[in-house]
Amino acid sequence: MSEVVELNSIEDLDRYHLVWNSLRQLTPGASFFQSLDWLKAYWEHYGQGQKLRVLVVKSQGSAIGIVPLCVTREHTRVGTVRVLTYPLQDWGTYYGPIGPNPTATLVTALGHIRRTRRDWDMLDLRFVDRDHDRGRTPLAMAMSGFPARQSQWKETALVELGSSWDEYSATRTTKFRNNVRRDEKRLAELGNVEYVRYRPLGELGGEGDPRWDLYDQCVELAEKSWQGASDDGTTLSHPSVRDFFRQTHAPAAKLGMLDLNLLRVDGRPVAFAYNYHWDGYVLGMRVGYDPEFKSAGAGKALYAMLIRDGFSRGDRVFEMGPGYMEIKTEWMTRTAHSCRYSHYPLSAPKAQVLRLKHWWTARRTPPETAATTNA
């Protein structure tokens, strides 16, 4: 017999810390974003105005799965809409239930949502991995009484690392290969080139040091880079994300999910790539380089070293992330997509208007170019 315990306060989650970590380790494809440490930091910085609804699924008194949800208010053309969704807010590409049986966990959790008072206008499960979900999410929603409409959420660029650097390089253009050789040669002419990749094993592996010295060098580079002057929060040093990244850095190292890359010339940091990783999957979060080394191709040289090293380590995928696809085309081997599954209650007028709006948008937009943003 299954039961669901709903937690609405971030402080109440502390008593589930051990079981949360245990279930995360059993979750297929689990990421750092599905850790309790990340959720607590996210909620502290960005939870204002949202309602937390974490559903712990139990069987015979023991937790077998967790579904973190939140109710967030989003401004649309039909007014403010209360959306029940996963608490990721586009920090990553994919999200889902935590535990070894995500479909059964989601069915039970959504059954609880069905039985409780509705405090939302639209149920919108976003960030679903289209390639690996294989229809499990819409099936779980339908079984729970929430028939859903599927649409694309984000497109992201992937570099698949299944062969070797030489085989991968052979699939790139001649111009690409020449540019990589040229950039690495230019850097070598400037001094001693050192590539540092810090990927601690985590506390369980006896290696959880966050190496703040390396992190601070990344932040200093971010301040110098062209993104440092932008106002969209796309770099480590931006005021809107600086404290959040700093707070999540140590937990990422502690869990063994940090992947920090630095390129130095004569000991001077010239480029960085700050990533998370899990089970051979590397997710690029932020990159930057010193403008003084732009002509030497420091940024591209670092990407080449990162990918080449990924092959030698046995990584499976390097995800470059969504956006700026024209820049990533020369590196990526394919694109991937995350989906959203939207349920619009008949008793929610705003949701019904949104349903018609989404239907009309999808009808007018070719499937291969469709990209859904906030409702």
Percent of the chain with pLDDT over 70: 94
User: Model confidence at 170, in pLDDT bands (50, 70, 90)?
Assistant: very high
What is the amino acid identity at position 139? L
User: Model confidence at 362, in pLDDT bands (50, 70, 90)?
Assistant: confident
Phi, psi of 300 (to 5 degrees): -70, -35
Tell me: the pLDDT tens digits for 82-108? 999 999 999 999 999 999 999 999 999
Asked if residues 263 and 293 have their Cβ atoms less than 8 Å apart, the reply is: no
pTM over 0.85: yes
User: Model confidence at 366, in pLDDT bands (50, 70, 90)?
Assistant: low
Over residues 357-370, the mean pLDDT reads 65
User: Model confidence at 355, in pLDDT bands (50, 70, 90)?
Assistant: confident
Contacts of residue 194, defined as CB under 8 A and 6 or more positions apart, other chains included, come to 263, 264, 265, 267
Over residues 27-31, the mean pLDDT reads 93
Looking up tokens 């001693």 gives 192
Q: Which among 155, 154, 138 has a CA at the least distance from the CA of 342?
A: 138
The pLDDT assigned to 370 comes to: 43
Structure tokens at 182: 């040229």
β-strand 317-321 against 281-289: which pairing, if any? parallel
Q: Which domains does the chain have, with CATH numbers?
A: 2-155+336-364 (3.40.630.30), 162-315 (3.40.630.30)
127 vs 137: CA distance, rounded Å? 11
The pLDDT assigned to 230 comes to: 65
What are the start-end ranges of the E strands in the chain?
2-7, 51-59, 62-76, 79-85, 122-129, 149-160, 193-198, 258-265, 268-278, 281-289, 317-321, 334-343
